[in-house]
Structure formats: structure tokens, C-alpha cells
């Protein structure tokens, strides 16, 4: 890959097997400042050495991502995360309850924090995650330094749940992708800020709000409303967007629509839809989250004028799905 900062495609991205040889090759690429996409249990992340500002800058260039949007640093252990951030009682409780897993904690950066300023968007906080996925864990343990890994797609677009999605967006822009098939959770991590006495939900995700609140023994605070300087990824108003316009809570289809269904819901005019995908015919929100980004990509690839989305319950993982849908539907 061309490391001058250019985003022009130079050669094909390597496809690496999720075995010791593939992981060793990925570690070599990261160590020299390259970019490697890898699977987590949520979505595929685009990895770079979090301590290397030049490597982090290549992520922003490859994704065409706004520089003010901070990145999540991925760590192999809770001990490693504690070296990067200052954990209060709430952060301790959440790390104990949900790590490894689909939870990101935003904490004050420690005096010894090695995650570079660019990755933290110049903030005095740092976003930290310990993923559960075996391949991610092996890669992080072998690399031995924090790895920032935003979703491995063009900025603002639909997040990737398969290596094929990564290649479709970033072939030639990144060095390699570790291919371990489809991810399990299918939506990004839940992000909770532990920056003051009140832990705050910044982004709903793979762990439902109710589970986080049960672990804390209290309600989560409302996240910051100012998206001009977000504390965490995925907080920009327009995000996760396909090329097609997205319309929400649709009961009647319009000509040229593709439709995203859930459960037994059948909007009027369904027989005239260009294409349809049902997130879960049995109305299971876990299955719906797993299939969400893959289904959105499939509908977008039909060339439909718009993607019409039927109402989806705003509870459990439905909160995360609806958050992504509202951002996808924003004017851009």
C-alpha cells in the first residue's frame, strides 16, 4: 500500500486466513504502520497502531473520515486498558460485567496513555474496548500495543459484517483483511462514558441499555447533545448511510422503493417493491441486529431510489438498530 497518505488504489488488499500465519502477517503490517481490517464480534474494524500518529492518519485517509471523530482503542486485556484510561467505580463494574465483549468505555486518559492525540481527536478522554472475538484477541495479544479500529468502510457508510464488505469499500486503500466470515452481533459496540459521577450512554449498540443499567444498579445519563465535538465514534448526525435515501416507519411503499422488513409486518404496496429483506421473520431483535448492516448493503446494491423501513421495536437491541437507522435517514 502507498503510505504517502494518498487514498488512490495502488494494489489489491491482501486476504489473510484467520490462522497463526495470517495473524503474524497482520502483526508485521501493523508494526510498520500499515492498515489491517479484522473481525470483532460486532463488525469488522480497520486496525492501525494506536500509538503511531502516521498510521492513524492513514485510517482517516482510507476512510475519508472527519479528523475530529475519535477512534476506539482495542486492548487484549483489562489490565492493558487500565494503563490507557483512569477507571472509576462505574467503569470497573462495567468492565467486570461485559469485557471481553461489545462494550466501549470512554474514560479520562491516564498520564501514561499511549493512544496518540490524533486517535483521541485531541480530547482528554480515551475510548477503550476489549473485544471477545478470538481472531481479534489473538491479534491484539501478539501485537502488544493498543490498536484503533473504526468500522472498516468509507466514513459515514454502512458498516461491514463480512470481509467482502471491507474489500468492496477499501480494496487497494488498505494493506490486508483477516477474513473470518460473518460477524456474530452485527451492530457496533455500546459506548458508555465514565467521565463524571453519572455514566452516560453515548451510543446504543450490541449490549442493550437495560443490561448496562442492571450492572450499574442505576439509570444511564443522557449522552451529550453536541455532535460538533463528539466524545466517541458514531455520534455524527448523518452516519451509517447507504447511497439510497432511507425512510423510516413506512406503512405504504412508493414506486422505486426497496423495503427492509421486520417480523410479520407487510406495508401496503409490498408486491411492487424492487427488493425486500426481512431482518427477522420471527421478530427476533438479536437476529435482526446480526443481519442489519448486511441487509442494508444488499438493498442498496439493487440501485433502489429509496430504502423504506417498517417500524422496528425500540427496545433491547432494537434501540441500537433504530439509532443507526435514524442516522442513516438524516439529510446529508
The pLDDT value given to residue 317: 85
Q: Is residue 255 part of a domain?
A: yes
Q: Are 129 and 105 in contact (CB under 8 A)?
A: yes
Nearest to 98 by CA among 194, 190, 235, 183: 190
Determine the Cα angle at 134 with ends 55 and 315, to 5°.
Answer: 95
Q: Are 228 and 142 in contact (CB under 8 A)?
A: no
Nearest to 100 by CA among 84, 83, 126, 80: 80
- Least confident range of 57-66, 150-159, 225-234: 225-234
Whether residues 105 and 160 fall in one domain: yes
The pLDDT value given to residue 1: 45
Whether residues 282 and 184 fall in one domain: no
Q: Is residue 3 part of a domain?
A: no
Whether residues 48 and 125 fall in one domain: yes
Whether residues 38 and 170 fall in one domain: yes
Whether residues 149 and 20 fall in one domain: yes
Residue 309: give its domain's CATH number.
Answer: 3.40.50.11030
The pTM of this model reads 0.81
Residue written as grid cell 479484522: 38
Whether residues 202 and 150 fall in one domain: yes
Whether residues 249 and 205 fall in one domain: no
* Chain length of the chain: 332
Nearest to 102 by CA among 188, 1, 226: 188
Whether residues 180 and 308 fall in one domain: no
pLDDT in tens, 189-210: 999 999 999 999 999 999 999 9
The pLDDT value given to residue 259: 98
Quick one: what percent of the chain has pLDDT higher than 70? 90
The contacts of residue 315 (CB under 8 Å, 6+ apart) are 285
Concatenating the DSSP letter of every residue in 20-32 gives HHHHHHHHHHHHT
The pLDDT value given to residue 3: 42
Total number of domains in the chain:
2
Whether residues 212 and 257 fall in one domain: no
Helix (H), strand (E) at residue 297: helix 285-300
22: confidence class by pLDDT, cuts 50, 70, 90: very high
- Least confident range of 23-37, 179-193, 201-215, 311-325: 311-325
The pLDDT value given to residue 227: 46
Q: Residue 259: give the domain boundaries.
A: 245-328
| Ramachandran region, residue 118 (left: φ > 0; alpha: ψ -120 to 50; beta: rest) | alpha
pLDDT in tens, 100-135: 999 999 999 999 999 998 898 888 999 999 999 999
Measured distance CA(33)–CA(51) in Å, rounded: 10
Amino acid at each position: 500500500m502507498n503510505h504517502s497518505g494518498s487514498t488512490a488504489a495502488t494494489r489489491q488488499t491482501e486476504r489473510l486466513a484467520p490462522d497463526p500465519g495470517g495473524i503474524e502477517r497482520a502483526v508485521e503490517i501493523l508494526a510498520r504502520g500499515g492498515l489491517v481490517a479484522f473481525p470483532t464480534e460486532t463488525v469488522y474494524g480497520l486496525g492501525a497502531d494506536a500509538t503511531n500518529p502516521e498510521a492513524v492518519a492513514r485510517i482517516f485517509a482510507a476512510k475519508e473520515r472527519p479528523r475530529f471523530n475519535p477512534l476506539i482503542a482495542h486492548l487484549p486485556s483489562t489490565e492493558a486498558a487500565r494503563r490507557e484510561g483512569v477507571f472509576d467505580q462505574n467503569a470497573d463494574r462495567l468492565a467486570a460485567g461485559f469485557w471481553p465483549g461489545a462494550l466501549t468505555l470512554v474514560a479520562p486518559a491516564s498520564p501514561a496513555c499511549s493512544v496518540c492525540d490524533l486517535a483521541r481527536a485531541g480530547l482528554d478522554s480515551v475510548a477503550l474496548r476489549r473485544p471477545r472475538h478470538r481472531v481479534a484477541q489473538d491479534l491484539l495479544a501478539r501485537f502488544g500495543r493498543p490498536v484503533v479500529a473504526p468500522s472498516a468502510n468509507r466514513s459515514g457508510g454502512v458498516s461491514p459484517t463480512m470481509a467482502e464488505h471491507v474489500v468492496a469499500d477499501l480494496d487497494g486503500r488498505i494493506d490486508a483483511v483477516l477474513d473470518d466470515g460473518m460477524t456474530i452481533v452485527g451492530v457496533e459496540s455500546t459506548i458508555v462514558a465514565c467521565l463524571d459521577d453519572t455514566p452516560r450512554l453515548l451510543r446504543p449498540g450490541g449490549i442493550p441499555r437495560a443490561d448496562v443499567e442492571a450492572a450499574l444498579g442505576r439509570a444511564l445519563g443522557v449522552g451529550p447533545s453536541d455532535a460538533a465535538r463528539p466524545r466517541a465514534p458514531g455520534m455524527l448526525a448523518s452516519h451509517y448511510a447507504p447511497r439510497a435515501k432511507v425512510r423510516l416507519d413506512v406503512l405504504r411503499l412508493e414506486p422505486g422503493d426497496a423495503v427492509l422488513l421486520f417480523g410479520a409486518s407487510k406495508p401496503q404496496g409490498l408486491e411492487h417493491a424492487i427488493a425486500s429483506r426481512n431482518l427477522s421473520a420471527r421478530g427476533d431483535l438479536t437476529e435482526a441486529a446480526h443481519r442489519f448492516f448486511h441487509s442494508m448493503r444488499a438493498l442498496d446494491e439493487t440501485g433502489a431510489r429509496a430504502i423504506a423501513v417498517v417500524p422496528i421495536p425500540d427496545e433491547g437491541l432494537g434501540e441500537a438498530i433504530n439509532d443507526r437507522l435514524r442516522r442513516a435517514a438524516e439529510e446529508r
